[in-house]
Amino acid sequence: MNRLAQETSPYLLEHAANPVDWMPWGEEAISRARAEDRPILLSIGYSSCHWCHVMARESFADEATARVMNECFVNVKVDREERPDLDRVYQLSHRVLTGRGGGWPLTAFLDPQTLLPFFIGTYFPRQPRHGLAGFNDLLRRVAKGYATKRLEVTAQGEKLGAVLDQLEKDQPAQQGDDNAPRKKAREALGELYDPGEGGFGGAPKFPMPAAVERLLRHWADSKTNDLQEPPATRPRLVRIADRRRRGPDTEALNMVLTTLTKMARGGIFDHVGGGFFRYATDHRWAIPHFEKMLGDNGVLLALYADALAIGLDPLFAHAARGSAEWLRREMQRPEGGYRTAQDADSEGEEGAFYVWRRDAVKRLLTEDEHLVVETLYGLDKRANFEGKWHLRRHDAWRAVVERLTLEPDRAATLLASAQAKLFAARAERTPPATDGKVLCGWNGLAIRGMALAGAGLAEPSWVDSATRAADFIRARMVEDGRLRAVWTDGTLGPNALLDDHANLLHGLLALLAARWRDEDYTLALFLGDELLRRFEDERHGGFFLTPHDHERLIHRPKPMDDEALPPGNATAIRALAALGHLAGEPRYLDAARRAGDWARGHAEQQPTGHCALITALDDLARPPELVIVRGPEDTLAEWLSIARAGYRPRRHCYGIPYAARHMPPFLPRLVAAEERNRASAFVCRDFACSAPIRDLGEFKKAMA
């Protein structure tokens, strides 16, 4: 056993029995490397990472490879989910040094004095193949290069350090036009869009929820002509073509609906157990990379909830219900927090838990059930995954029902009974491993998704689930006035980073909108204060990934680029702006605006890489309509359902019971006794509220 045996991370513990003399990141490993003048071999991965498992089997479990690693390097293993700060700076270094995006496992060789990488890559096979260098040969060449070309190693590090330093100093020119980034993003996303299969680009194909949400917001704005310049900024003389009022951008909406439809039908969705896999390996969404991640599913659940606000689509509702039930059933711990991820592999094979043999399916089902499943999921077609079938819908449900000449209710009953049998049979297999640790930031994303979907589809059990997760974080992940990033079987990990605070705040605001609780409002205010106190760059604007008292790394990033999950600055801007309007607190709004001013030039320069940030800037540019309903708890639901109708991203709705003790300061604190048995609604903008609306009919007119 190596030093990782003392760690709590499931990923690090997987490597505790390796013959490699692994050490966790920390002063002991760094001091040893400096004292022995050996480069650090830094390996970053995570527990559900398929290629991390492959490299572990091929190289880290191999005695000969371990011998070379132990002789030439100080070997450090990092869980990227526990230390996203380390992962981000070294992934950024990979991009700078290679000109390509990184991935996992990340393999970096560091100068022990500066901790700057002088050689970096991702997965390396033990022996050369597919154009990749063999890991054993690479180890020897890197060790020799460090020993014989020290000046070049130092120069390489200095160049990289200079580039990283400059990244925070570069300030792209700003035109001061809030519409410019939105328009550029719309045009660029239209060019990247795959009209046949939805989504953007080819294989591998990622969901890119920030881009989809940007198009959805663009369509919503186009309906009300909000894409035009505000009156005060319009030029007096414009070309005739520019003066033309455009109607709703139905093309943008079609891109959204097609993408979400193809994903919900595709193999990226688990049609038996619910939940979305991380990405598709092909451009048709047919075959996924089979790991399931909590954060991805939280973001996608929120996106489908937004789409369902346009109108109830059975396919979208099925995807949302499947994902929410998977989160409750398999990802929520008994204590309340959500687990992190499920592996792609089981019994040493990727996807083994999820794929089917055609004859096995036939044996499980009645003839009528099998006919429905075979037609819907393509079991009558060629195998699509290593001689087996991974289920995906080959056609729309209505078309399948019509083709089989079944009554819709009868077809739905047959499908439901067949899926139940498939689920029960699959449960007998060896399941993929689940990483049980609780990540604060990813729980925030899941809380938001469950709260939005629960409110939108009138599923209080999903709101209950989100509430339990929030209670878990409040009770177990705040210690000595600091939020923590990780909880693993009772042990707390490092202090929380920007994304943890921002995602949790965003999630709590959605939870407050679904069901007001004093303790959630209090925690939201605490998080808002922590963002300003510990993360804000008061000189230039924006928020650092790490708190001001954090360990000093080779770079201190201010994340704003779209990745699989929304960047911390975009979420912080959105959440602080919403909290500022709800709490009547200008400090939050001012910090959000400073961040927006800092980031605007970056968003305009590269719009498709900053869709989440553009949506955040959109929130800043147009204050929300704040609808607050007060009343006895049993009267709130009817009023809130009226206010929530339709997709209205600029309308924020909260139902605050008269029993609540903590609430926005601009609301009346005292309610006359004769008024406490009925609801009162307030419509507020910029901290000013309308007179109370106490007639339901009048309220319907106000909300129309």
Residue 589 main-chain phi, psi, to 5 deg: -65, -40
Q: In three state form, how does the secondary structure of 614-629 look?
A: HHHHHHHHCCCEEEEE
Which of the two residues, 171 and 12, has the higher pLDDT score?
A: 12
- Model confidence band, residue 232 (pLDDT cutoffs 50, 70, 90): very low
Q: Does residue 697 form part of some domain?
A: yes
Are residues 63 and 115 in contact, defined by beta-carbon separation less than 8 angstroms?
Answer: no
Are residues 78 and 88 in contact, defined by beta-carbon separation less than 8 angstroms?
Answer: no
Helix or strand or coil: residue 198?
coil
User: Are 279 and 165 contained in the same domain?
Assistant: no
Residue 42 main-chain phi, psi, to 5 deg: -100, 120
Which of the two residues, 301 and 180, has the higher pLDDT score?
A: 301
Q: Does residue 222 form part of some domain?
A: yes
User: Are 115 and 203 contained in the same domain?
Assistant: no
Q: Does residue 506 form part of some domain?
A: no
Query: Which residue, among 109, 102, 94, 88, has the nearest Cα to 43 in the 3D structure?
Result: 109
Paired tokens of 418: 């067949």
Last residue in a domain, options 404, 434, 464 = 434
Which residues span the domain enclosing 656? 623-704
| pTM summary value | 0.94
User: Are 205 and 109 contained in the same domain?
Assistant: no
User: Are 406 and 297 contained in the same domain?
Assistant: yes
- Model confidence band, residue 669 (pLDDT cutoffs 50, 70, 90): low
Q: How many CB atoms lie within 10 A of CB 244?
A: 8
User: Are 200 and 255 contained in the same domain?
Assistant: yes
Residue 152 main-chain phi, psi, to 5 deg: -65, -40
Paired tokens of 681: 């609604």
Buried b (16+ CB within 10 A) or exposed e, 404-419: bebeeeebeebbeebb
Q: Which amino acid, residue 286?
A: A
Whole-number Cα distances in Å, 68 to 62, 76, 137, 275, 507: 10, 14, 10, 42, 47
Distance, in Å, from the CA atom of 499 to the CA atom of 504, rounded to the nearest integer, reads: 8
User: Are 294 and 203 contained in the same domain?
Assistant: yes
Q: Does residue 343 form part of some domain?
A: yes
User: Are 155 and 290 contained in the same domain?
Assistant: no
User: Are 327 and 411 contained in the same domain?
Assistant: yes
Q: Does residue 363 form part of some domain?
A: yes
Q: Does residue 678 form part of some domain?
A: yes
pLDDT of residue 244: 36
* HSE-up of residue 626 (Cα within 13 Å, Cβ side): 24
Q: Does residue 83 form part of some domain?
A: yes
Q: In three state form, how does the secondary structure of 318-376 look?
A: HHHHHHHHHHHHHHECCCCCECCEECCEECCEECCCCCECHHHHHHHCCHHHHHHHHHH
- Model confidence band, residue 673 (pLDDT cutoffs 50, 70, 90): low
Q: Which amino acid, residue 292?
A: K
Distance, in Å, from the CA atom of 102 to the CA atom of 225, rounded to the nearest integer, reads: 40
Are residues 488 and 518 in contact, defined by beta-carbon separation less than 8 angstroms?
Answer: no
User: Are 164 and 280 contained in the same domain?
Assistant: no
- Mean pLDDT confidence for 128-133: 81
Average pLDDT, the chain: 93
pLDDT of residue 534: 98
The pLDDT tens digits of the residues spanning 143-154 come to 999 999 999 989
The CATH number given to whatever domain includes residue 81 is: 3.40.30.10
pLDDT of residue 672: 65
pLDDT of residue 591: 98
Last residue in a domain, options 434, 450, 472 = 434
Share of the chain above pLDDT 90, in %: 85
The pLDDT tens digits of the residues spanning 347-405 come to 889 999 999 999 999 999 999 999 999 999 999 999 999 999 999 999 999 999 999 99
* Residue 176, pLDDT above cutoff 70: no
pLDDT of residue 238: 30
pLDDT of residue 229: 40
Q: Does residue 474 form part of some domain?
A: no
Distance, in Å, from the CA atom of 270 to the CA atom of 323, rounded to the nearest integer, reads: 9
- Mean pLDDT confidence for 580-585: 95
How many domains in the chain?
A: 3
User: Are 127 and 220 contained in the same domain?
Assistant: no
User: Are 148 and 254 contained in the same domain?
Assistant: no
The bridge status of strand 651-657 relative to strand 106-110 is unpaired
User: Are 142 and 224 contained in the same domain?
Assistant: no
The pLDDT tens digits of the residues spanning 254-277 come to 999 999 999 999 999 999 999 999
